[in-house]
Amino acid sequence: MKQEFEMIFHRAGDYKIFLVNLLYRTPHVHKDFEICLLLEGSVRLMTKGSAYSCEKGDLWALNPLESHELIADEPALILSLQISPDFFADIFPQIKNMEFSCPVICPDDSKDAPAVRLSSLLLSIADAYFSRKEEAPLRCAGLICLLFEDLLACLPCCRVSEKERQLSAQKAQRIRKICDYMDQHYSEKLLLTDLARELGLTMSYLSHFFKDSFGLSFQACLMKMRCEKARQLLLLTDFSLLDISIACGFSDIKYFNQGFARQFGCSPRQYRSAFEREELSRQQKSMLSTQDFLSPAASRMTLGRYLR
């Protein structure tokens, strides 16, 4: 079963660009800046306890170690650049202590608007990244520097101390431990006291830490995780609703039905039935995943539609 929360690491100084058709991305953190452009569809971005509605053409910038979640009603096409602060170590080292305060930039009608310039730069970076030309990496690196120069000029940002940065790293490590533990024990009776004991924290502190980090209470986060596991079993197996309920840690079938309905807007039986009638086929790009990464060849072809 796919892990629902994860830390994503790249080698120091690396950057990565990809296109993805995404329906849902569970709460996660990584050590990179992440700059995304929504090419098609609409998504809800959940970060820092706030929700942002993003439409086609919107661009957002996320800080390293910032927990975030993405939700779409239909598969949305996203172009993403993930880049370590170490990429700038020799030319602009202070970036490791800078944080964007507001993540989303929306386009307007002006051709010189910040979102238009940034979107054009990000598309050009992706074009160079997927290019077969020998000199393309030079162009890619140069455009990344121009992108971040523009981002720092367009987005509200603040400077954090080295101590604050280290505290953020410690927080991310704690988030990873929490997510690993929940992924291992979601099928069991799991209480906040169990997690607090595992981490050596007080109940009060952990409760506040959860809300601050994920924008959800522990119980709400656990419910979301169990419902997503149940959704996969509904589509991948012919297990009975009772067996799925037990496998995903629900105390009884009634609690399972109520929780699933709050999460997906219908009962588990209705969800499975709708899928069998192919009413969910557009949403379910893959039975095993709610995100479909495009290959380099498909990325080059897709980008051609958006490059001016």
**pLDDT tens, 149-159?**
999 988 888 88
Higher-pLDDT residue of 75 and 88 is 88
The structure tokens 């929504």 sit at: 38
Burial degree of 116 (CB within 10 A; 0-12, 13-18, 19+): middle
Neighbours of 154 (CB within 10 A): 17
- Three-state DSSP state, 214: helix
Q: Give 249-291 pLDDT, tens digit per residue.
A: 998 999 999 999 998 889 999 988 887 776 654 545 444 457 7
174 vs 291, residue with greater confidence: 174
The answer to whether residues 159 and 98 touch, using CB atoms and an 8 Å cutoff, is: yes
- Per-residue pLDDT of 45-78, as tens digits, reads 988 778 899 999 999 999 988 888 898 878 899 9
Angle at Cα 21 formed by Cα 33 and Cα 150, nearest 5°? 35
- Residue 74's Cβ-side half-sphere holds a number of Cα atoms within 13 Å equal to 7
Q: Write phi, then psi, for 163 (nearest 5 degrees).
A: -65, -45
pTM, two decimals, is 0.74
Predicted confidence (pLDDT) per residue in 9-52, tens digit: 433 348 999 999 988 887 777 889 999 999 999 999 988 778 89
**Residues 114-139, mean pLDDT to the nearest whole number:** 93
Written as six digits, the tokens of 199 are 């981490």
Separation CA 18–CA 137 (nearest Å) = 15
Could you give the CA distance from residue 233 to residue 71 in angstroms, rounded to a whole number? 20
Q: Please, which pLDDT band fits residue 127 given cuts at 50, 70 and 90?
A: very high
The type of residue at 105 is I
Tell me the C-alpha distance between 147 and 129, whole Å. Answer: 14
Confidence tier at 6 by pLDDT (50, 70, 90): very low
What DSSP designation does 295 have? P
Phi, psi angles (nearest 5°) of residue 82: -110, 125
Name the strand (E) or helix (H) holding 269: helix 268-276
Nearest partner of 68 among 114, 22, 1, judged by Cα:
22
Question: Does pLDDT of 7 surpass 70?
Answer: no
Mean pLDDT for all residues in the chain: 86
Nearest C-alpha neighbor of 114 from the set 189, 60, 68: 60
- pLDDT tens across 208-229, in order? 998 888 878 999 999 989 998 8
Which runs of consecutive H residues, i.e. helices, occur in the chain?
Answer: 114-129, 136-154, 162-185, 192-199, 203-214, 218-236, 241-247, 253-264, 268-276, 296-303
End-to-end alpha-carbon separation of the chain, Å?
41
* pLDDT of 149: 94
